[in-house]
Amino acid sequence: MHKHHRALGLASAPIGSRTGADIAKQRPVQPVTLLRPHAARRAASFFVERFPGRSLYAVKANPSPDLLKILWDSGVTHYDVASIAEIRLVRETLPEAMLCFMHPVKAEEAIAEAYFEHGVKTFSLDTIEELEKIVRATASGEVAAADLNLLVRLRVSSEHAKLSLASKFGADPRDVSTLLMAARQAADALGICFHVGSQAMTPAAYAEAMERVRQAIIEAAVTVDIVDVGGGFPSSYPGMEPPPLETYFSVIHSAFEALPISYSAELWCEPGRALCAEYASVLVRVEKRRGDELYINDGAYGALFDAAHIGWRYPVRLLREPESHVRPAKFSFYGPTCDDLDRMAGPFELPADVNAGDYIEIGMLGAYGCAMRTQFNGFGVTESAIVDDEPMASLYGISAPAQSNVVTL
């Protein structure tokens, strides 16, 4: 991680005074990712101190080694990994981290490498076939592993979430009891996990899923050692302002305390977006204006995949000197590639006089945006700079930035 990149001519600035506006003054030609380590530290500390159990960072949300180190230094010691590549990355970056292979469908070779080479003991599953695969892959000769943490993933509703995760994974309700009993025989510690969907907008999502957990435990009559409520913890976006995270934690804790489990059972969660959304934003340049359409130098094949393909709206602000006093208008964006699909419908509200040569900061892109960039059409190479100002939205008890979509340079 660097304070600046000479290729952009970004001048150094004293700690505590570096902002996106400072970067825009240098007139960068390519998009610049603005990194806020202090925001990631604050989010990690919040979960470590206030969630009533253990927090596993979902690496898929942003696998940046720099971010992984920030989270580790802030007290996050367990990581939800979904592929052998993520396992290798985290093990190389954080040799002492506890890794949990939480993808319910894994290659047998990946399971074996994870267990024997990287010390992974925790695996999720949602079928008998996956359970048998894990048992085979972790056996030494004819001797089955005796130190596995096996978490059976339940299928639960995503009706309270902005992005559904209810169709691809999760045990068939008719098979749950049989699967739990079989996993209990193979596990040192047996767990139940679920995922309520991404960006859950109400704590009721977890209350309803925990009721499903309670029913599953009673029906299978098994001793459960771990209850993992998965991810889905929200961040704040335009039109998506969720309740305080403490309300989610309170509902989860109450439901956990009411489960028919032993006093020594552990409560886990897997935040991804909530830990890293505020970590990064992207500074883009307007290359052309056509009516209410702005052509910018990042897009669907860069950090704005979700804005293009699922209509996600991100906060935006114009970084200009002198400040515009023109009333705001609604715009859509086109990205830099030659593909018509490289379009972000928005609407994104900016001063009506925004034009070619202006710089726009697009916020809350630390989750998924930074992770999903490609090099399609030769675009996608971005510089980065650490800034010290606050993110454009936050759920972590800071005062929100002034509600203006213009920042004076």
- Give the pLDDT confidence of 352-392 residue by residue, as tens digits: 999 999 999 999 999 998 888 888 888 877 799 999 999 99
Indicate if the pLDDT at residue 399 is higher than 60.
no
More confident residue, 404 or 133: 133
Indicate if the pLDDT at residue 401 is higher than 50.
no
pLDDT for res 6:
32
- State the Cα–Cα distance between residues 54 and 152, nearest whole angstrom: 18
Indicate if the pLDDT at residue 400 is higher than 70.
no
Ranking 57-66, 125-134, 267-276, 376-385 by mean pLDDT, the lowest is: 376-385
- State the Cα–Cα distance between residues 36 and 392, nearest whole angstrom: 11
Cis peptide before 347 (omega within 30 of 0): yes
Ranking 149-153, 225-229, 338-342 by mean pLDDT, the lowest is: 338-342
Element spanning 161, H or E: strand 161-163
pLDDT for res 318:
96
- Give the pLDDT confidence of 274-329 residue by residue, as tens digits: 999 999 999 999 999 999 999 999 999 999 999 999 888 999 999 998 888 899 99
* Phi, psi at 395, each rounded to 5°: -110, 15
- Give the pLDDT confidence of 92-113 residue by residue, as tens digits: 999 999 999 999 999 999 999 9
Q: Closest Cα to residue 255, out of 204, 320, 317?
A: 204
Confidence of residue 15 (pLDDT cuts 50, 70, 90): very low
Confidence of residue 402 (pLDDT cuts 50, 70, 90): very low
- Give the pLDDT confidence of 179-230 residue by residue, as tens digits: 999 999 999 999 999 999 888 889 999 999 999 999 999 999 999 999 999 9
Indicate if the pLDDT at residue 4 is higher than 70.
no
Do 6-36+279-408 and 38-276 fold alike per CATH? Answer: no
- State the Cα–Cα distance between residues 213 and 333, nearest whole angstrom: 43
Q: What are the domain boundaries of the chain?
A: 6-36+279-408, 38-276
Quick one: average pLDDT of 57-77? Answer: 97
More confident residue, 35 or 408: 35
Indicate if the pLDDT at residue 407 is higher than 80.
no
Pick the CATH number of 38-276 from 3.20.20.10, 2.30.300.10, 3.30.70.120, 3.40.50.720: 3.20.20.10
Q: Provide the CATH topology of domain 6-36+279-408.
A: Lyase, Ornithine Decarboxylase; Chain A, domain 1 (2.40.37)
- Residue 336 CB partners (closer than 8 Å, separation 6+): 287, 295, 296, 297, 298, 299, 302, 342, 377, 379
- State the Cα–Cα distance between residues 80 and 230, nearest whole angstrom: 9
Indicate if the pLDDT at residue 123 is higher than 90.
yes
How far the first Cα of the chain sits from its last, in Å, is 25
Percent of the chain with pLDDT over 90: 77
pLDDT for res 100:
98
Confidence of residue 333 (pLDDT cuts 50, 70, 90): very high
Q: What is the mean pLDDT of the chain?
A: 90
pLDDT for res 161:
67
Indicate if the pLDDT at residue 87 is higher than 90.
yes
Indicate if the pLDDT at residue 5 is higher than 60.
no
Decide the pairing of beta strands 226-228 and 266-269. parallel
Q: Which residue is it, tokens 């702005």?
A: 294
